[in-house]
Amino acid sequence: MPLYEFRCPTGDQFEASFSMSQVPQLLDCPDCGQKARRRIGTPRLSLAGSAEFKLIDSTKRSAHEPNVVSNKLPPTGRSSPTRYTGNPLHQKLPRP
Ligand SMILES: [Zn+2]
């Protein structure tokens, strides 16, 4: 994602990464909390597809959007028997 520069009324400058369709004109300053305007600058488009930039993006993303395991782990050992047929008459057959 391209990197954009922002500057707040008190003069703080910071950078933030957004997709080109979702970049806001105003963003809250992380230092003073005022609305910071986006500055006209050159987004780092030439590096956007490189492996280094993908690594930087994923590292930044993992700081505030870590991958969270939401499902239970698969059971270890013997699992429930796999059903091979949907015929209800086969349910009455003896189990191996
Ligand atoms: Zn500020």
Over residues 57-73, the pLDDT tens digits come to 888 888 877 777 777 77
4-25 per-residue burial string, b: 16 or more CB within 10 A, e: under 16: bbbebeeeeeeeebeeeeebee
From ligand 1's centre to the CA of 5, what distance in Å? 13
From ligand 1's centre to the CA of 22, what distance in Å? 22
- pLDDT at residue 87 above 80? yes
Over residues 3-20, the pLDDT tens digits come to 889 999 999 999 988 888
From ligand 1's centre to the CA of 62, what distance in Å? 25
From ligand 1's centre to the CA of 31, what distance in Å? 5
The pLDDT assigned to 80 comes to 66
Closest to 32 in 3D by CA, of 4, 8, 5: 8
User: Which conformational region is residue 59 in: left (phi greater than 0), alpha (psi within -120 to 50 degrees), or beta?
Assistant: alpha
Per-domain residue ranges for the chain?
3-64
What is the spatial distance between Cα 96 and Cα 90, in angstroms, rounded to a whole number?
Answer: 13
Under 8 Å between Cβ of 26 and 37 = yes
Fold for domain 3-64?
Rubrerythrin, domain 2 (2.20.28)
Average pLDDT over residues 23-52: 82
From ligand 1's centre to the CA of 48, what distance in Å? 27
From ligand 1's centre to the CA of 14, what distance in Å? 9
